[in-house]
Chain A
Amino acid sequence: MYAFELVRPATVADAVKALAAEGAQALGGGQTLIPTLKARLASPATLVSLAGIAELRGVTTGDGQVRIKGGTPHAVVAREAGAYPALAWLADHIGDPHVRNRGTIGGSLANNDPSACYPAAALASGAVIVTNAREIAADDFFQGMFTTALEEGEIITEVIFPIPQAAHYEKLRQPASRFPLVAVFVARYPGGVRVAVTGASENGVFRWTEAETALSNDFRAEALKGLAVDPDGMIGDLHGTPEYRAQLAGALTGRAVAAAG
């Protein structure tokens, strides 16, 4: 780790101000950034910790929505997002207890790791990502591996999840990191079914629209018969070939639908 300045603002407004400085970087739960710093792979001049900002924490439920403040740790979501069981389950199965008590939803979405869990939930739910400056629809937010619609210095303050009629998150863990090797979030809304796949694509989380169409007509695993994810563009590494990841995307979608009921 290289030396850096640490700033701990108490409000979002102060954090935004601090992030305007040259070489400043936001620090959420640090579950990605801290290991990166320890490996000396990044050298920000200033870290702006969001951990002490009270207005960035909390989960509220109402009007058919679960609203999660950007700095809320996974463990809190797991406990308090019970109105959206699939989302609470997802939060309860990220990493290990250490990760769940430090890592935050805003940090996960802003990082947009192609194998992260939360992007699948946000995309499949058609969530709205609220920042200090604006509201961004999930469909516009994720823009490829480690890339989002966030501007420099923009902070995720809240994520709004519409509660679906039925949903399930099915994941198969990469055996070393225990990130999803592939995971699928299926959510059924009155307007249709949404299917988001994480861990599989070189472009990060994506919606499997053919499956969505089929499942919107017939919400049973059997409706997926004959559909397959194209291996082209899927990740290939020592943990799985593109063909294997495409296979998993299909298989896990079927299992998620069966489990969502």
Chain B
Amino acid sequence: MPDGGIGASNKRREDVRFLTGKGRYTDDFNRPDQTYVWFLRSDVAHGRIRKLDISAAEQMPGVVKIFTAADFASAGGIPAGWMVTDRFGQPMKEPKHPILAEGKVRHVGDPIAAVVAETRAQARDAAEAIELDIEELPAVVDMRAALADGASLVHEEAGTNLCYDWGFVEDNRDAVDAAIKAAPHVTTLELVNNRLVPNAMEPRAAIGEYDAADDQHTLYTTSQNPHVIRLLMGAFVLGIPEQKLRVVAPDVGGGFGSKIFHYAEEAFVTAAAKAVGRPVKWTSTRSEAFMSDAHGRDHVTRIELATDLQGKFLAIRSTTLANMGAYLSTFAPSIPTYLHGTLMAGNYTTPLIYVNVRAVFTNTVPVDAYRGAGRPEATFQLERVVDKAARELGIDPIEIRRKNFVKPDQYPYQTPVAVNYDTGNYDATMDKLVEIADVAGFPARKAESAARGKLRGLGISSYIEACGIAPSNLVGQLGARAGLYEAATVRVNPTGGITVFTGSHSHGQGHETTFPQVVASMLGIDPGQIEISHGDTAKVPFGMGTYGSRSLAVGGSAIVKAMDKIIAKAKKIAAHLMEASEADIELKDGRFSVAGTDRSVAWTDVTLAAYVPHNYPLEQIEPGLEETAFYDPSNFTYPAGCYACEVEVDPETGVVSVLGFAAADDFGNVVNPMIVEGQVHGGIAQGIGQAMLEAAGYDADGQLVTGSYMDYAMPRSNDVPSYKVDHSCVTPCTHNPLGVKGCGEAGAIGSPPAFVNAVLDALNGGGIAVDHINMPLTPSRVWAAIQAARA
């Protein structure tokens, strides 16, 4: 086996182009005769358009055409990709999401008109010349107010701001109520999972192009899943068949979920390019990104945990209001339901669980998946209430978790919330955590802090997540409007090099490095001989894209399946070349040999024979060496782990400093440890960002008060410590060929509760009794909580 296969920390080959400025992002593409669009967006949260007069603007310099909703009368709305059925068996409310506002605006940033002009500045100038008069309506911002009688309606035709009222598992409702009523102890917590702005480094962009000669549309876009965009936009919005529509998602500078979704701007540039007969380009400004990229989280939750007096969990009841924003974004309905309710068992054997979620329309930016997508919301409430229960019952927070962990001999473990954990070992990750976080040394560190007038705290969390959402037939029953498999084509070239076409899209995950390691290991060749191609519907057969930490578990497995076919065919060719039986052919270190003999042929002998079939079993097999496979997983994968955060609180100012963070994860088998470590680092930084700094805030009028980096606080390097991460606890996934689970979101899932638990440990351990502080734990909030406790 050459170096650099599975298990090697190969350096990311894509970084060479990224770090030398040679990455090719959507905005780097410029098409001949290109025009530019500027969207006139609503500056009020809710209102009726009384007047929209474009006549003066049309006369402005450089204007090519100005579009309003009337130009899209025959187009469909931007669709939701998931239909949730409520607990009474009724479908969710699914009001239309038009490309441009039809008579009403529903959030600040809602596009009303679009000016296509020769330059971006001209388009913007003309947009300001559009005469617009909006009759403001009362804005619905707070979710409870949105559900109150007489509330202003975001969508009148829905008759309510309630999108759905979902119960999971509905049949457990009465049993859970009874168990909580009868329990010796119930710990209750009300909390907010704060709304976040995704803030990918690269703002969204899209270029539409139309070739009238052969009636072909091309969309260049910042997407995590170009095939899904082609399907949603082509079939539901614009009515363009797949063979007439190519979607290219080139280098993409981060997504964190926000670039999964189909956005109105993509449909606009695609349609407008045909209408004006020239390419149309849009690049989001950062200000637009704040008010048009789908936001994340935004749950208000009450969770009750029933236990016995020894801390054994008996039942959980979780009740959540989930903000959908003004329209249903692509996966929005599924996030608080099937990616949230299903995770409420966590790492524990709680026998009875009921989750109720009411999804609410408000006059805010749509909310959808953001790194973790539902799983952080589940983990946060669970790990917070477990910590509170430990404090109330006088049990060590590590011990109460161990007492309730699913044990290694209990797998496969059927939870009361539908999912079935195939494997795991939570005690092993907790043992590792206790070691790397130096839990034993904490009292001494705490005393040292106390001597300086500071309060030191240690926060623990456990998490489980469900990655590689699947299988398709199950998610179809649950309302998904797409399959959740992945596709791969392996094209072996005559001289032995390989191009792998994958439906997984890389936008920070390092696929161009990791996937070749998998292929190289299967053949025993150098990973440098393998290229990864992704992000273009004209090249890749099909793809469901990258989200939910699915790329290696699902996309990687599709590559393995395609490679299995390649190897099977190559063995037939090798058998022919060596006049041996196919059954006797062995593949090792890039050579095919006949078992028990010294006869062998090289990989390249076989690949050349496949394309120059002079000596070839043409009567049995076709020339060429190219195979496609689709892989549909039989279950989710279940990465899990235990995290510890150590903080110091300055009681005089409320400032929290994160002094240490340790993560012990079980990701199953690991292909590239360095990339896995990087994913965990990034995830933890985002989790600490949510817990300590970030919050998208709206005022009562629906104005986004955190519309720029002057007020929206992103984590910087000096906000986070040097992490200690470990992934040596391995229970391989039992149902995919690589035994891998996924690592992309874990850091963002496990870290917020560890951070908050740490701050509360610091306060309570310093004699300041505080039950909870809502994220982000800003200095002002921490100080106010201290004052309230002392009052």
Contacts and interface: CB of A to CB of B under 8 A. Distances in A.
A251 interface: yes
A175 B695 contact: no
A31 interface: no
Contacts of A172: 653, 655, 779
B652 interface: yes
Given A172-B655, A175-B778, A251-B653, A241 B784 contact: yes
B654 interface: yes
Given A172-B655, A175-B693, A251-B652, A240 B779 contact: yes
Contacts of A248: 653
Interface string B767-782: 0000000000011100
B709 interface: yes
A6 B779 CA distance: 43
A17 interface: no
B710 A176 contact: yes
A239 interface: yes
Given A172-B779, A175-B713, A177-B711, A244 B706 contact: no
A228 to B, nearest CB: 13
Contacts of A175: 693, 713, 719, 778
Nearest to B652: A251
Residue of A174, A244, A251 with highest tally of chain B CB at under 10 A: A244
Interface string B638-676: 000000000000001111000000000000000000000
Contact of B705 (A174, A238, A241, A247): A238
A1 to B, nearest CB: 8
Nearest to B697: A238
A210 to B, nearest CB: 19
A interface residue count range (under 10 / 10 to 19 / 20 to 34 / 35 or more): 10 to 19
Nearest to B693: A175
Contacts of A238: 695, 697, 705-706, 711
A39 interface: yes
A39 B286 CA distance: 11
Contact of A244 (B697, B709, B779): B779
Contact of B711 (A39, A176, A251): A176
Among B654, B693, B705, B780, the most chain A Cβ lie within 10 Å of the Cβ of: B780
A172 B654 CA distance: 11
Contact of B780 (A39, A241, A251): A241
A227 B783 CA distance: 19
A244 B693 contact: no
A235 to B, nearest CB: 11
Given A172-B655, A238-B695, A177 B783 contact: no
B611 interface: no
A239 B710 contact: no
B709 A176 contact: yes
A241 B654 CA distance: 13
A115 to B, nearest CB: 10
A180 B576 CA distance: 76
A240 B780 contact: yes
Contacts of B67: none
Contacts of B655: 172
Interface in A234-261: 238-241, 243-244, 247-248, 251-252
A244 B783 contact: yes
Interface string A198-214: 00000000000000000
Contacts of A243: 784, 787
Interface in A176-200: 176-177, 181
Interface string B708-726: 0111111000010000000
B287 interface: yes
Contacts of A252: 653
A177 B713 CA distance: 7
B783 to A, nearest CB: 6
Contacts of A239: 711, 778, 780
Contacts of B709: 176-177
Nearest to B125: A2
A251 B655 CA distance: 12
Contacts of B713: 174-176
A99 B297 CA distance: 34
A251 to B, nearest CB: 5
Interface in B666-701: 693, 695, 697
A243 B780 CA distance: 9
Interface string A23-54: 00000000000000001100000000000000
Contact of A39 (B287, B693, B706, B779): B287
A176 B780 contact: no
A183 B128 CA distance: 40
B711 A247 contact: no
A177 B693 CA distance: 12
A134 B652 CA distance: 43
Nearest to B782: A244
A240 B654 CA distance: 11
A177 B705 contact: no
A184 to B, nearest CB: 12
Nearest to B124: A40
Interface in B746-791: 778-780, 783-784, 787
B9 to A, nearest CB: 32
B647 to A, nearest CB: 15
A218 B438 CA distance: 45
Interface in A69-88: none
Contacts of B695: 238
Contacts of A244: 654, 779-780, 783-784
Given A175-B693, A181-B779, 18 more contacts: A172-B655, A172-B779, A175-B713, A175-B719, A176-B706, A176-B710, A176-B711, A177-B711, A238-B705, A238-B706, A238-B711, A239-B711, A240-B780, A243-B784, A243-B787, A247-B653, A248-B653, A251-B653
Interface of B: 124, 128, 287, 652-655, 693, 695, 697, 705-706, 709-714, 719, 778-780, 783-784, 787
25 contacts: A39-B287, A40-B124, A40-B128, A172-B653, A172-B779, A175-B693, A175-B713, A175-B719, A175-B778, A176-B693, A176-B706, A176-B710, A176-B711, A176-B712, A238-B695, A238-B705, A239-B711, A239-B778, A239-B780, A240-B778, A240-B779, A244-B783, A244-B784, A247-B783, A251-B652
Interface of A: 39-40, 172, 174-177, 181, 238-241, 243-244, 247-248, 251-252
Closest 10 CB pairs of A and B: A176-B713, A175-B713, A240-B780, A244-B780, A177-B710, A251-B652, A176-B711, A175-B693, A238-B697, A244-B783
